[in-house]
Amino acid sequence: MAVSDRREAAQVTDAPPARPRKALTIGAVATVLSKEFDDVSISKIRYLEDQKLVSPRRTAGGYRLYSQADVDRLRTILRLQRDEFLPLRVIRQELSGGPSISGLSSGTGSPNTSRRAKLIGTSSSRFSLEDVTEETGASAEFIGELAEFGLVEPRIEGGARIYDETDVEIVRAANELAKSGVGARNLRLFKTSADREVQLIEALLAPKFASRNPQRRKEATETLERMASVLSELKHALLVRDLRRLSRS
């Protein structure tokens, strides 16, 4: 072995082990993530924790400390929201799946095409109008327009409008489109399209849902979730194909 090679080997052998990265406070995490996500905030990170999507450790004094794994997980969540407009309940499914997390956080993974839309008992969160504006960055006036055109469907409780998790995700996506000049009025066609898809699925599955057999109703629910995911993938593929055609013209 040459002298230079032996020296290099000795340097590698004698090098001190890499130190684990220092845990970060919530403010430091917000600063790190803000380099990629303009709308990230301390309150948004706390909200994701409230939704059981990330679990930082706590000090004896109750302060949150985030590991590098926590930061990567948050980055994955924010990318799935921004790039795929996935609702949090679907992101929760993605994260619980495990294998694709690292790929997504590094931006190299591909979307999981086997997602199933969880439609039953997954939208129990309640949000006031103020909560929705804080979480999405949308104005109260814009949210009102979305409700006027049937895109969000708040319920009235004690004279106040209450929104669920799905409403929040719709507002977030619509607000992002509004930045490109797509108004609430323009989004009615998506509502019309969704209504037609629901009518198709309802016609196919109505007999099973009307059955008194619990097993048949369970099968209908599973089929409903599977069809919702497949329809979503189909619409995405058709949209991508037509947009590629537009970009080539």
Pick from 71, 70, 64, 66: nearest CA to 33: 71
Question: Can you name the CATH fold of 129-248?
Answer: Multidrug-efflux Transporter Regulator; Chain: A; Domain 2 (1.10.1660)
What is the token pair recorded at 99?
């294998």
What is the token pair recorded at 82?
């921004």
What Å distances lie between residue 249 and 21, 94, 242, CA to CA? 49, 36, 11
The number of C-alpha atoms within 13 Å of 108 and in the hemisphere containing its C-beta is: 4
Domain ranges for the chain = 3-105, 129-248
Query: What contacts 6, CB < 8 A, 6 or more positions away?
Result: none
- Residues 195, 231: Cα–Cα separation, whole Å: 13
pLDDT computed for residue 119 by the predictor: 52
Residue 171, number of CB atoms within 10 A of its CB: 24
What is the token pair recorded at 79?
């990318």
- Residues 76, 103: Cα–Cα separation, whole Å: 9
- pTM of the model as a whole: 0.54
Decide whether 3-105 matches 129-248 in CATH topology: yes
- Residues 187, 193: Cα–Cα separation, whole Å: 10
Show pLDDT as tens, one digit a residue, over the chain (249 residues). Answer: 444 444 444 444 444 544 456 889 999 999 999 999 988 989 889 989 888 899 999 888 888 999 999 999 999 999 888 877 677 877 887 787 654 444 444 444 444 444 455 554 545 578 999 999 988 889 999 999 999 999 999 999 998 999 988 898 899 889 989 988 999 999 999 999 889 988 998 898 998 888 899 898 888 888 888 888 788 878 878 888 888 888 776
- Residues 219, 222: Cα–Cα separation, whole Å: 5
Architecture of domain 3-105: Orthogonal Bundle (1.10)
